[in-house]
């Protein structure tokens, strides 16, 4: 077997290129020649971008636009979009928003310019999300005033109390079932299993799987739910402007929307209503809102899959969720708006929030969990001035006692859990401020890895911290190796067309496999069909290594049909399939564009050291944008940039995922 060795240095391709620019022009017309299978990756063009001493492949997708392109470059080079200056092709013209990215040269050069005053910029320009948060803060303040005006000085309790009934809605079997019915459970489970497999865990325990499922549920939710600042006009879809509050209709009140915001269309006379639904069952249907709706609806989802769930109320204007992770043996922070988990210092460190009270509300009680979210407890204490600490504590204790009235059998376990949490929170408070959280470059292992690959470090990127994940990618190498016999066989064919036909057939088989349910994947090839006969006779023998790499096996049936089915853990196949598609499409593209069929023309796309391009991100099966995610995965880079909600946030608002390889 020929092994495809990974070259130590970026490979050099013979041909006409200068030291700054390499590779050739790709116009992906080849993709339109593929047969009736839906393409995974709609790439319009491939660019080769030279930056410092490296070249980067970037797939440009027409739908995404220049902004996304710049973020792709950012994730590859760590040069923030603001500081990018891109020069195009031979005439060296500057590429900008106005440039036609379909028409310019495929060879680009990137240089860094220092932002003139980026700090000032980021202070002035507020993202939609920040504005919406300000709105939310105003709302909270209004609600607060109502309570304060009622003459009762027990403000603290009045702030917490409404949520005690709210979280009981999550216990309703009808609401839970409705929630579960909207989730593609098998898909989420498959992603969870693949995520674990990529960390090298093919046989997860129940608690590991539950934990992984919860994270994938969070990612799924983040992509499903929409953020609303001012809603688009219901009539024409144009932007709207706030017109104050309206009177709630009975159907709105039925789902807890006593407050209804009104928005006037900027174009047509229509008024669009934005009822602030509190009943999560309605939110399963509307799938939109601000952080209140997000956290409310996501908490129902968590509860409906059996996780112990808390709604977290931050008195300074935000709401999120906590779930008890049996795997971690503790409560875990989950922010559905951000798609970020287990990063409790996100608010104080990342957002520079001045926290005061952070209260967890669950079916079994209410808890002051502020200490989980701060390393500046004293500062926080100085802001906790609406009641005394002991009064706050006794109010929470009393509510908790009420909540537990009907949970008598659970009380010993709950009390033990409480004690453990108090201990954990006190310990956290004394622990060192963990700088590695926001400076992922400082994690062990990174330096060696980066030096080895002479990659640009990610140290310069500050980020709202994200947990480190391991990434195992032997499967990528095994797939690339498995192409070897197949391509050797194809190289023996007399014509390009014959080779293309063969590969298209292979692709069709793989598409059918991908479409079948992941736990029982199989496909039967009818040898009576003309193409199938050719495939079985000419290609199948050299396809066996590929089947191995995919954890699949083929069986010749008595009637001459060939069955391809799972050979091992279904998750192996789920993990590897996207990688095959990516590699196969590269090979197809290349055959289409080579002058004559030869081994080298077949192989070189698989020799790429740098597998980073947005195509590879898709291929890796990693979650693509919550905003924009590019670069990485399948073991080509340690970090991956993501932007919340696709907003034009500055670096620092997004999040950097780190992978240990």
The question of whether 291 is a catalytic residue gets the answer yes
Least CB distance to Zn ion at residue 231 (A) = 11
Distances (CA, A) of 436 to 332, 451, 467, 509: 19, 19, 10, 46
Least CB distance to Zn ion at residue 262 (A) = 13
Helix (H) or strand (E) holding 332, with range, is: strand 330-335
Under the binding rule (CB under 5 A), the answer on residue 233 touching Zn ion is yes
The question of whether 613 is a catalytic residue gets the answer no
Binding letters toward Zn ion, positions 175-214, x by CB under 5 A? ----------------------------------------
**Catalytic choice (291, 323, 403, 466):** 291
Nearest to 192 by CA among 217, 222, 221, 155: 217
Under the binding rule (CB under 5 A), the answer on residue 235 touching Zn ion is yes
For Zn ion, the closer of residues 214 and 265 by Cβ is: 265
- Cα 13 to chain center, whole Å? 35
Under the binding rule (CB under 5 A), the answer on residue 265 touching Zn ion is yes
For Zn ion, the closer of residues 26 and 274 by Cβ is: 274
Determine the 3-state secondary structure of 250 from DSSP: helix
Helix (H) or strand (E) holding 95, with range, is: strand 93-95
Under the binding rule (CB under 5 A), the answer on residue 259 touching Zn ion is no
Looking only at residues 574 through 593 of this chain, which bind Zn ion when binding is defined by CB under 5 A? none
**Catalytic choice (57, 59, 106, 335):** 335
Under the binding rule (CB under 5 A), the answer on residue 268 touching Zn ion is yes
Total residues at interface with Zn ion (CB under 5 A) = 8
**Catalytic choice (50, 318, 333, 475):** 318
Among 270, 522, 561, 593, binds Zn ion (CB under 5 A): 270
Nearest to 476 by CA among 613, 618, 582, 615: 582
For Zn ion, the closer of residues 200 and 235 by Cβ is: 235
Segment near Zn ion (CB under 5 A); pick from 74-82, 145-153, 154-162, 231-239: 231-239
User: How far apart (Å, rounded) are the C-alpha atoms in residues 188 and 199?
Assistant: 17
Segment near Zn ion (CB under 5 A); pick from 102-110, 270-278, 292-300, 376-384: 270-278
Kindly report the backbone phi and psi dihedral angles of residue 352, in degrees, each rounded to the nearest multiple of 5, phi listed first. Answer: 60, 40
Under the binding rule (CB under 5 A), the answer on residue 241 touching Zn ion is no
Distances (CA, A) of 545 to 1, 482, 536, 590: 10, 5, 14, 22
State the DSSP string of 354-365.
----EEEEETTE
Under the binding rule (CB under 5 A), the answer on residue 272 touching Zn ion is no
Segment near Zn ion (CB under 5 A); pick from 238-246, 331-339, 461-469, 582-590: 238-246
For Zn ion, the closer of residues 134 and 268 by Cβ is: 268
Under the binding rule (CB under 5 A), the answer on residue 238 touching Zn ion is yes
Q: Which two tokens stand for residue 215?
A: 């994270």
User: How far apart (Å, rounded) are the C-alpha atoms in residues 579 and 239?
Assistant: 41
Determine the 3-state secondary structure of 272 from DSSP: strand
Under the binding rule (CB under 5 A), the answer on residue 407 touching Zn ion is no
User: How far apart (Å, rounded) are the C-alpha atoms in residues 466 and 83?
Assistant: 24
Least CB distance to Zn ion at residue 268 (A) = 3
CB 276 within 8 A of CB 262: no
Cis peptide before 633 (omega within 30 of 0): yes
Hey, which residues are catalytic here?
Answer: 291, 318, 335
Residues that bind Zn ion (CB under 5 A): 233, 235-236, 238, 265, 267-268, 270
């Amino acid at each position: 077997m020929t092994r495809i060795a990974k070259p130590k240095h970026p490979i050099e391709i013979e041909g006409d290129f200068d030291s700054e620019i390499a590779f050739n022009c790709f116009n992906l017309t080849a993709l339109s020649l593929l047969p009736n299978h839906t393409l995974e990756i709609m790439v319009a063009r491939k660019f080769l971008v030279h930056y410092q001493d490296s070249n980067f492949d970037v797939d440009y997708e027409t739908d995404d636009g220049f902004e996304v392109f710049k973020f792709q470059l950012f994730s590859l080079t760590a040069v923030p979009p603001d500081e990018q200056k891109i020069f195009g092709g031979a005439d060296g013209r500057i590429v900008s928003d106005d440039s036609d990215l379909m028409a310019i040269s495929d060879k680009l050069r990137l240089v860094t310019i220092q932002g003139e005053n980026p700090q000032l910029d980021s202070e002035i320009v507020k993202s939609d999300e920040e504005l919406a948060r300000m709105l939310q803060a105003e709302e909270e303040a209004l609600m607060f005033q109502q309570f304060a005006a009622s003459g009762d000085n027990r403000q603290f309790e009045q702030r917490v109390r409404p949520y005690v009934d709210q979280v009981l809605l999550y216990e309703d079997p009808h609401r839970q079932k409705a929630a579960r019915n909207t989730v593609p459970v098998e898909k989420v489970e498959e992603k969870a299993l693949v995520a674990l497999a990529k960390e090298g865990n093919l046989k997860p325990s129940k608690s590991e799987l539950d934990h992984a499922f919860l994270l994938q549920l969070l990612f799924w939710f983040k992509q499903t739910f929409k953020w609303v600042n001012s809603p688009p006009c219901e009539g024409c879809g144009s932007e709207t402007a706030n017109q104050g509050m309206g009177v709630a209709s009975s159907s709105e009140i039925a789902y807890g929307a006593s407050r209804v915001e009104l928005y006037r269309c900027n174009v047509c006379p229509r008024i669009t209503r934005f009822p602030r639904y509190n009943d999560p069952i309605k939110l399963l249907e509307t799938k939109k809102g601000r952080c209140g709706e997000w956290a409310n609806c996501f908490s129902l989802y968590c509860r409906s899959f059996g996780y112990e769930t808390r709604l977290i109320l931050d008195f300074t204007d935000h709401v999120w969720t906590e779930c008890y992770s049996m795997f971690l043996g503790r409560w875990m922070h989950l922010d559905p708006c951000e798609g970020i988990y287990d990063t409790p210092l996100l608010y104080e460190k990342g957002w520079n929030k001045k926290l005061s009270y952070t209260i967890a509300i669950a079916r079994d009680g209410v808890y002051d969990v502020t200490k989980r979210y701060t390393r500046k407890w004293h500062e926080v204490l100085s802001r906790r001035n609406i009641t005394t600490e002991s009064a706050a504590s006794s109010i929470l204790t009393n509510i908790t006692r009420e909540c537990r009235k009907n949970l008598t059998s659970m009380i010993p376990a709950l009390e033990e859990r409480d004690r453990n949490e108090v201990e954990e929170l006190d310990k956290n408070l004394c622990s060192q401020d963990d700088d590695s959280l926001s400076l992922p470059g400082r994690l062990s292992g990174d330096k060696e890895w980066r030096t080895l690959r002479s990659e640009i470090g990610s140290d310069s990127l500050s980020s709202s911290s994200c947990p480190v994940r391991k990434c195992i990618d032997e499967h990528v190498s095994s797939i690339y190796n498995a192409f070897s016999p197949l391509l050797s066989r194809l190289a023996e064919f007399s014509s390009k067309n014959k080779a293309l036909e063969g590969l298209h057939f292979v692709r069709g088989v793989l598409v059918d496999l991908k479409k079948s349910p992941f736990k029982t994947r199989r496909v039967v090839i009818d040898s009576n069909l003309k193409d199938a006969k050719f495939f079985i006779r000419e290609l199948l023998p050299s396809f066996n290594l590929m089947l191995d790499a995919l954890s699949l096996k083929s069986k010749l049936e008595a009637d001459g049909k060939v069955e391809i089915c799972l050979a091992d853990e279904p998750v192996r196949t789920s993990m590897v399939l996207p990688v095959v598609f990516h590699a196969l499409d590269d090979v197809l593209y290349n055959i289409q564009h080579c002058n004559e069929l030869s081994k080298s023309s077949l192989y070189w796309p698989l020799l790429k050291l740098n597998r980073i391009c947005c195509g590879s991100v898709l291929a890796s099966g990693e979650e693509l944008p919550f905003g924009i995610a590019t670069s990485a995965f399948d073991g080509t880079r340690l970090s991956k940039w993501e932007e919340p909600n696709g907003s034009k946030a500055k670096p620092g608002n997004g999040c950097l995922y780190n992978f240990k390889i």
